[in-house]
Amino acid sequence: MIETIAHTEDVLPQKWNGVAQHIAYTITNSTDIVVLTVFSTLENVSIYSVYNLVINGLKLLISSLTSSIQSFFGNLLAKEEYNTLGKFFSKIEWIIHTLVTNIFSITSVLITPFILIYTAGVQDVSYNVPVFGFLITMTQMLYCLRLPYYLLVNAAGQFKETQNGAIVEAIINVVISVLIVNKYGLIGVAIGTIIALGFRTIYLVIYLSNNILKRPATLFLKQIIVDLVTMCLIHLASLFVTVKSYDFFSWVYLAIIISCISLIISFIINYLFYNDRVLEIIKKLESKREMLRKIFRVIFYSNINSVVLINILLKLRENNNKILSILLWNKLIVKYGIHIGNRVKIGKNLILPHPLSIVIGNAVKIGDNCTLYHNVTLGTKHSLENESNGYPELKNNVIIYTNTVIIGDIVIGENTIVGSNSLVTTDLEANSVYAGNPLKKIR
């Protein structure tokens, strides 16, 4: 028999408080568009929607990247490891503030030029509203800056204790937006949201300082000052970066320059205010220098990158993944002019010093540690009946220099070198050097 056990207490004692907070969040999140629709013009609704489309994408990206932090906080709280929680929270807080400040400072500079490019040709509405672009960026920046505090409160399950803050936030947003939207339009609803988000952020900081983290709120104040100084300096520096006209390529150029400036300013400011954390990151990067160097080479060095792509292509073919293998095969041809036949077998550590115009025929076999320079062809001889007579096999440690053609069912012995501008149609001995057309053994 199955015995029914009655619960003596509510398994989710604060569920309705959580629901109340979610309703308050929904109101806060929807206030701007609703107020503009009811009290303003359709032009303002259109402008708001376009700008919000871009900014909301960034917010969702950062929210998704930080979502796992809540479970980490919950694990430490369950174990009552409050000292560890405090240390990790301070690091996470700094990382999120630094990233968010950089990302949204750059965005606040670039968003209006981007919107102008995006809406080029639209004549009925002017989307050139840089002040609103800056303010709506600040609203989502504030939302992302408060994420560590919001996630920690949720991890602690203290919905009831923080419910009033969520409700007051929603009321502030609605009241201020409604009162000033007629006079200030888009800017009015943005100001209302900024004030509401600022209130809730400060509320959460004070609550955590008094109840969970037990740390002075001045640490948050220091972090906000660093954020503001960084953001102001980035905007000040951006005034000296100008482009003659806005098109896609000039916008990309502007984005690269502003991003580089932002990274430099952020590094200097954080080095001055958070010297220990910056040095800690530098030490970790130094300890992984070799790994980072390899990653850099794979990404930016064409000879390494091409070999990686070839190895991926061969692996896809082994797994009979036809669609991806065809796409990658085509990429190798378009980007490098490298053709890899269907039944090619390649050993370890293939080296392509100059990966350009290389043909490796259908049934070619290449051993370990082989090197192929550019304009090398490994193929087959065709008879008058257009029948293949086999493909070459390269043993280990073979080096083939530029403009060499190796064709037919032949074997190139181990440790053999074939010089530039050679035509090879017969087997070559191991540990030898050949060159020329006709081919001659040099040693």
What fold, for 302-441? Answer: UDP N-Acetylglucosamine Acyltransferase; domain 1 (2.160.10)
Reported as a single tens digit per residue, the pLDDT across 386-409 is: 555 689 999 999 999 999 999 999
> What is the model's pLDDT at position 65?
86
Per the structure block, which two tokens stand in for 247? 């098109």
Cβ neighbours around 375 below 10 Å, total: 18
Q: What is the pTM of this model?
A: 0.65
Cα dist from 145 to 151, 177, 180, 189, 351, whole Å: 11, 22, 26, 20, 47
Cβ neighbours around 249 below 10 Å, total: 9
Q: Is 175 helix (H, G, I), strand (E, B) or coil?
A: helix
Reported as a single tens digit per residue, the pLDDT across 206-224 is: 999 998 888 898 999 999 9
Question: What angle is formed at CA 33 by the lines to CA 202 and CA 247, rounded to 5 degrees?
Answer: 95
Determine if the peptide bond prior to 438 is cis (ω within 30°).
yes
Spans of all domains in the chain: 15-287, 302-441
Give the pairing of strands 393-394 and 365-366: parallel
> What is the model's pLDDT at position 7?
47
pLDDT over 60 (residue 193): yes
Per the structure block, which two tokens stand in for 99? 């990233």
> What is the model's pLDDT at position 5?
46
pLDDT over 50 (residue 72): yes
Reported as a single tens digit per residue, the pLDDT across 7-58 is: 445 545 666 777 878 888 888 888 999 999 999 898 999 999 999 988 988 8
Of 103, 92, 89, the C-alpha closest to 140 is 103
Task: Tell me how long the chain is.
Answer: 443
Of 174, 172, 235, 234, the C-alpha closest to 201 is 172
> What is the model's pLDDT at position 196?
94
> What is the model's pLDDT at position 187?
94
Cβ neighbours around 232 below 10 Å, total: 12
pLDDT over 90 (residue 242): no
- Average the pLDDT over 96-105 and give the result: 95
pLDDT over 90 (residue 290): no
Task: Identify which has the larger pLDDT, 274 or 22.
Answer: 274
Task: Identify which has the larger pLDDT, 243 or 364.
Answer: 364
Of 229, 230, 233, 202, the C-alpha closest to 218 is 202
Whether 14 and 160 have beta carbons less than 8 Å apart is answered as yes
Residues recognised as catalytic: 382
Reported as a single tens digit per residue, the pLDDT across 315-345 is: 888 878 788 888 889 988 988 899 999 889 9
